[in-house]
A and B are shown apart, each in its own frame.
Chain A
């Protein structure tokens, strides 16, 4: 029973560490998203402006003396500030925000509303998340698989014709951002050829039949998905190729060959198997990144995902939405890293023993 205990201890250690990471990350986000308390001043000024302009429009306001006006404004402002909790010191509030964030009570957005009209941050995020996952996570899974297969093929004959041509392709697609390909492909496939829509997720008005609705989404998704895969699989294939070539030069691979093992066993057991941990890491990290969406690519394709939401939230200084998104993202990251640790400890005995 030596092994499971070591593994439990290892996992417990990891959970502690990851939880600390989560707390620190969320706390920093709270401070940054509130601009270190600066947003409070903006909020106060905004409250004052709203109250003043509301009162100014109310009948009989002009009859009051200036003294009375000032008193009413300051009373109302005080009440509003207290209602919003802005009277407490910023530092104290950050800790309250932290606990709220960690318990996933994400509060209400300042300005942004969800499509269904809700102002709750969780509603806004949950409405967008599936759309991002649908496009970007699918894309990431597909390009990881395609890239891995091509990387394997490239590693067979390093320096060969295919390897050279594809290495150039990888560098080119890596340098050019996905949204550029997006614009290019929209021009070719939507404008000239007319075989795909220009953007969006469903036709307007959306079809009623769920099956037709699904087909319609796929029809709209095809071009952004293709763009995403096209611009990212090359670089990943190149990474996979390098990893595999590096492992293939290890002494134990030579030993395996000298043992007279057939090529496919050498490849599978002595090259691929030891290169799995880094490959799994890269794929998982891309998966996490995919949940964030892609701000510009989403904008180009008019895709209603988390990327655009993040952009809106930052632009309008909507701190609760920024914090909410970051908290959810941090939770997803921590969960993925934990799952990754588990997979790692299965794949690599050295990690199980806590050596690395």
Chain B
């Protein structure tokens, strides 16, 4: 498959009172056209930071923001903010934000919020953009009269559909989904997942799907990235990672998924995820790892290809 997005040595560090938080630390991955890449991990592992680094919605306390983000052969990190805004933002990479409940402006009509990028980037008139917004609403399975409504008049699932419609307004190549269903009940969640699958098929989208929910990720993902402490610890196809997880962290993560009506003992990983101001030396997972060896405490494992397209950062596989 053709490479659409290549991330190389991406770093995003935040400055805080207690020190520098290395939220995204040397992250590398590729996204192919038409592929869905899921980034999974616990809260605070750097998955959302990776997303905001790609779309350049940065908080004010940035310390380091560097690396290469190559979209179709062009390094978009080299663009200045104005050019990025005009050429890349929403046109080529759009994003569905976490916390869908607040992602819509409460005082502006739905239709206008969906139409807004079309007016600014697509140079459409208000009327044309509104018509297009109605089409987009039908595309995500909402009645088009909702364009005249305000966000508070919609249910959570409907709002999430509106946000997805908004993300599709400019036919982007990459859509980043940051926990798109985390605030919804399971039935609505299933509906949204089906909608995302249908849109991917029909519109030929590529997704970066960020979630803490491995079961949900398996619904959509072709490729899985497992992140821990700001770094990628395992990277492989969904089959490989789900059926035969290599990294001890991935193994634990998979063992912690509940299954219905079976007597499986749910496992959990003792201790808390690392404090990213002062991450543990060596492998960042070693304090919680069952297989920790002396080398894990001293040297950081390098991510290496153990099979074709299968990467793991762990000393068990030779570091």
Residues of chain A touching chain B, judged by Cβ–Cβ distance below 8 Å, are 158, 250-252, 254-262, 265, 269-270, 273-274, 347-350, 353, 355
Contact B120 A262 (CB under 8 A): yes
Contact B102 A250 (CB under 8 A): yes
Taking CB atoms and an 8 Å cut-off, the chain B residues in 102-138 that contact chain A are 102-108, 116-117, 120-121
* Interchain CA distance A270-B103 in the complex, whole Å: 11
Contact B106 A260 (CB under 8 A): no
Taking CB atoms and an 8 Å cut-off, the chain B residues in 9-43 that contact chain A are none
- Contacts known (A252-B102, A269-B108); A258 close to B152, Cβ less than 8 A: no
Contact A259 B102 (CB under 8 A): no
* Interchain CA distance A353-B116 in the complex, whole Å: 24
Most buried by B among A158, A259, A274, A349: A259
* Candidates A158, A251, A274, A347; contact of B103 at CB < 8 Å: A251
Residues of chain B touching chain A, judged by Cβ–Cβ distance below 8 Å, are 55, 57, 60, 85-86, 88-91, 94-95, 97-99, 102-108, 116-117, 120-121, 150, 152-153, 163, 166
Instruction: List 20 additional contacts besides A252-B104, A258-B94; criterion CB under 8 Å.
Output: A251-B99, A252-B105, A252-B106, A254-B57, A254-B97, A255-B104, A255-B166, A256-B105, A258-B57, A258-B90, A259-B94, A259-B117, A262-B85, A273-B108, A274-B107, A349-B106, A349-B107, A349-B152, A353-B150, A353-B153
List, sorted by A's number, 6 A–B pairs whose CB atoms are closer than 8 Å. Answer: A251-B98, A252-B104, A252-B105, A254-B97, A259-B120, A350-B150
Q: Which residues of B contact A158 (CB under 8 A)?
A: 60
* Candidates B95, B104, B152; contact of A350 at CB < 8 Å: B152
Contact B120 A251 (CB under 8 A): no
Most buried by A among B95, B105, B106: B105
Q: Which residue of A lies closest to B169 (CB)?
A: A259
Q: Which residues of B contact A270 (CB under 8 A)?
A: 105, 108
- Contacts known (A255-B97, A353-B152); A260 close to B85, Cβ less than 8 A: yes
B54 to A: closest C-beta gap in Å: 10
Q: Which residue of A lies closest to B95 (CB)?
A: A258
Contact A261 B107 (CB under 8 A): no
A1 to B: closest C-beta gap in Å: 13
B297 to A: closest C-beta gap in Å: 39
Contact A259 B150 (CB under 8 A): no
Most buried by A among B104, B116, B121: B116
* Candidates B98, B99, B152, B163; contact of A355 at CB < 8 Å: B152
Q: Which residues of A contact B98 (CB under 8 A)?
A: 251
Q: Which residue of B lies closest to A356 (CB)?
A: B152
Q: Which residue of A lies closest to B93 (CB)?
A: A258
Q: Which residues of A contact B90 (CB under 8 A)?
A: 258-260
Q: Which residues of B contact A269 (CB under 8 A)?
A: 105, 108
Q: Which residues of B contact A261 (CB under 8 A)?
A: 116-117, 120
* Interchain CA distance A255-B90 in the complex, whole Å: 10
Contact A349 B105 (CB under 8 A): no
Contact A260 B107 (CB under 8 A): no
Q: Which residues of B contact A348 (CB under 8 A)?
A: 106-107
Q: Which residues of B contact A258 (CB under 8 A)?
A: 55, 57, 89-90, 94-95, 97
Q: Which residues of A contact B103 (CB under 8 A)?
A: 251-252, 254-255
* Interchain CA distance A3-B55 in the complex, whole Å: 38
* Interchain CA distance A254-B51 in the complex, whole Å: 12
Q: Which residues of A contact B60 (CB under 8 A)?
A: 158
* Interchain CA distance A3-B120 in the complex, whole Å: 29
* Interchain CA distance A16-B261 in the complex, whole Å: 57
* Candidates A259, A273, A274; contact of B89 at CB < 8 Å: A259
* Interchain CA distance A158-B60 in the complex, whole Å: 9
Q: Which residues of B contact A353 (CB under 8 A)?
A: 150, 152-153
* Candidates A260, A274, A349; contact of B117 at CB < 8 Å: A260
Q: Which residues of B contact A251 (CB under 8 A)?
A: 97-99, 102-103
